[in-house]
Structure 1
Amino acid sequence: MAEALRPAPDDESWLPPDVAGTVVTVGTFDGVHRGHHEVLARLAGRAREAGLSSLLVTFEPHPLEVVNPDVAPHLLTPGREKLAALAESGIDYVAVVPFTRTLAGYEAAQFVDLVLRDRLRMRELFVGHDHGFGRGRSGDAQTLRRMGAERGFRVEVIEPVSLSDGHAVSSTAIRRAVAGGDLDRAALGLGRPYGVTGPVVQGEARGRLLGYPTLNVALESPRKLLPPEGVYAVRVHTRGGDFGGMCNLGPRPTFGDAARSLEAHLFDAAGDWYDQTVGVDFVARLRDTQRFAGVEELTAQLGRDAQAARRALQRAR
């Protein structure tokens, strides 16, 4: 399991003293998708072969939130979601580097020397073919290879991973699929269903009165990208196990509530879920959010939604 490092800028080193050297990759790794897993598998394999530790260097917040906030994307895996996705990746360490305006001003050589070599004992570097870091993304593959030859570290360039249709896997493409409600496309790129993680909080208990009690899940980050509003078949991961269910993402117009929320009803489950952190995977979109004439009409629709959600979950197995 990867160990997370949260370095302070004035630390002499960000690694335990018994780590002699590292094989490093650098990037935002938003989504921790199939392409990322390919890089991390190769990184971990090379580290074992060389007798070194494997290390991913990532940033918080997303660099664009600092250098160009107007175009900064909503994220597939903000904060702890990314660390959770990386936990079973097979790498030894994840360094979460605070991205500041000072760091944004570093030339590529400064970042390599001051962060990767001095702080993180880099001996080898894995980069994507189109990756760049340092001011103006000046640290491209060609520049890094030249630096490696001068400074004595090896650089390996990784080509993109493509899907069966020939399209390269990328965080940008997956974000586009999620935002457009194409859950199958997003899952294909991620290698898993798209979902959210958050604590179960107190709600209005309307679902319980309707015969469909729900978990009200709070988002852990306002930067989290959500699929379009609507009713979904979901799979919910809890401390007590995994359960199929259905959820409403968005407002509750029948009750005049315009606030967006995520409420999930679990099938064949009961218990007190408050203050638990749960994961909700979106399996299939069932319908738009809509306003009903009254509680009786809404309850009848919830019954139809439950049947449709069970069928969708069965198909997804």
Structure 2
Amino acid sequence: MKRFQRIGDPARLPSSLRGSVVAIGNFDGVHRGHQSVLQPALEIAAEKDIPALVLTFEPHPQTFFRPNVPLFRLTPASMKARLLAELGFDAVIEQPFTRDLASHSPDAFVEEVLVDGLGVSHAVTGYDFHYGKDRKGNPETLAVSGERHGFKVTMAEAYGDEGGEVISSTRIRALLGEGRVAEAAGLLGYRFTVEAEVTGGKKLGRTLGYPTANMALPVETGLLHGIYAVRLRRADGSLHDGVASFGRRPTVDVDGVPLLETFVFDFSDDLYGETCSVSIFGLLRKEEKFDGLDALVAQMKRDEEEARVLLSGVRPLSELDRALAFQD
């Protein structure tokens, strides 16, 4: 894979990346609908033999405008960057979304960010892209600006699933909130994947014969609390099947904060302090409170057996899915 760069300020863009093809959008989830915008950018860049970049915004504009309304981000910045790198982009520009930027007119946004900052040669957007103060800019106004400033614009049409329904991050969030992770994966084009540092816990799982790698996910994570068949990827790239609990552990904890606790099959290494990713393949059951530890352990054994069977038959959904959750 080519060297991928994460850039937080367009003013610091290396000269070698100026004049690139730039896909513009929030791209939370980098799902199949987003890929219908991203893929043309890659194809145009390959045809012109120039770099392909993604311009996105941090924090997510919805969080900026509604800071008191939690937003379940499917792909926080680090995960989004990882997916974009796997797709073949050269860099992502994580444009700071500030009050000043939000107040820019559409023309000012184009001139300051796209022209002066990036020296864009070709911009690619989705049909629903808006920019500038009061969202007055759209793909049509961008095309007019492109003619004035000397860059081309391509607009991707809405992308639907096999039933003709438009694929959106909102739909995927709703599916994950119901534990329908296989359906969500069909829209994403890959298994929903989270990433975090493995932290120490109370080590109760170890005493029960099920030691777990514990990961604190963002508090906004809207995945249904339940037990899942998963694959964990270590920092060294190795993959390990397992079963994970996401939730508050009602049998053993009172008012516990949500954690993702992964029991990795046939594994004894220490993962503390390591940043790992977990790809979620299937919901086994919802979280529930058991009448004592014996009943909990008996169910955990059944969960392990079911997860092993489920994971033994999985196949990659795409090259992106293969890169995240399958051996090279």
Instruction: Using structure 2 for the length normalisation, give the TM-score.
Output: 0.89
Cα 1:19–1:291, aligned 2, differ >3 Å: closer, same or farther? closer
Structure 2 residue matching 1:269: 3-state secondary structure: coil
- In 2, the alpha carbon distance for the partners of 1:185 and 1:240 equals 26
1:242 to 235, 239, 245: 239
Q: Residue type matched to 1:217 in 2?
A: M
Question: By how many angstroms is 1:240 displaced?
Answer: 6.1
Question: By how many angstroms is 1:203 displaced?
Answer: 0.7
Counterpart residue number, 2:168: 170
Cα 1:68–1:296, aligned 2, differ >3 Å: closer, same or farther? closer
The structure with the greater share of residues assigned to strand is: 1
Question: By how many angstroms is 1:289 displaced?
Answer: 1.8
- In 2, the alpha carbon distance for the partners of 1:185 and 1:139 equals 33
* 1:136 is the counterpart of 2:134: yes
Question: By how many angstroms is 1:91 displaced?
Answer: 1.6
Structure 2 residue matching 1:246: 3-state secondary structure: strand
Structure 2 residue matching 1:257: 3-state secondary structure: coil
Counterpart residue number, 2:77: 79
Matched-pair identity in % = 38
- In 2, the alpha carbon distance for the partners of 1:92 and 1:34 equals 20
* 1:256 is the counterpart of 2:253: yes
- In 1, the alpha carbon distance for the partners of 2:69 and 2:252 equals 35
- In 2, the alpha carbon distance for the partners of 1:314 and 1:42 equals 35
Unpaired runs of at least 5, structure 1: none
Aligned residues: 311
Question: By how many angstroms is 1:71 displaced?
Answer: 4.8
Q: Residue type matched to 1:138 in 2?
A: K
1:6 to 5, 8, 26: 8
- In 1, the alpha carbon distance for the partners of 2:100 and 2:18 equals 28
- In 2, the alpha carbon distance for the partners of 1:20 and 1:251 equals 48
2:23 to 14, 22, 25: 25
Contact 1:201 1:217 in 2 (8 A): yes
Contact 1:247 1:262 in 2 (8 A): yes
Question: By how many angstroms is 1:30 displaced?
Answer: 0.5
Matches within 5 A, 1:202-213: 202-213=200-211
Question: By how many angstroms is 1:122 displaced?
Answer: 0.9
Structure 1 residue matching 2:296: 3-state secondary structure: helix
Which string of whole-angstrom CA distances, capped at 9 and with x for unpartnered residues, describes residues 255-313 of structure 1?
Answer: 23331211110112221111111111121111222222222221111111111211222
- In 2, the alpha carbon distance for the partners of 1:183 and 1:235 equals 14
Contact 1:41 1:90 in 2 (8 A): no
Structure 2 residue matching 1:258: 3-state secondary structure: coil
Which string of whole-angstrom CA distances, capped at 9 and with x for unpartnered residues, describes residues 32-62 of structure 1?
Answer: 1122223222212212322432211111100
- In 1, the alpha carbon distance for the partners of 2:18 and 2:198 equals 43
Which string of whole-angstrom CA distances, capped at 9 and with x for unpartnered residues, describes residues 217-257 of structure 1?
Answer: 122x444x331111111111113621111111111222233
Question: By how many angstroms is 1:67 displaced?
Answer: 1.9
Contact 1:67 1:104 in 2 (8 A): no
Contact 1:43 1:91 in 2 (8 A): no
Counterpart residue number, 1:67: 65
- In 2, the alpha carbon distance for the partners of 1:234 and 1:92 equals 30
Contact 1:67 1:101 in 2 (8 A): no
Contact 1:64 1:72 in 2 (8 A): no
Counterpart residue number, 1:228: 224
Question: By how many angstroms is 1:84 displaced?
Answer: 1.2
Counterpart residue number, 1:273: 271
Which string of whole-angstrom CA distances, capped at 9 and with x for unpartnered residues, describes residues 104-155 of structure 1?
Answer: 1111111100111001111211111121111122111111122222222211
Moved more, 56-65 or 257-266: 257-266
- In 2, the alpha carbon distance for the partners of 1:48 and 1:242 equals 32
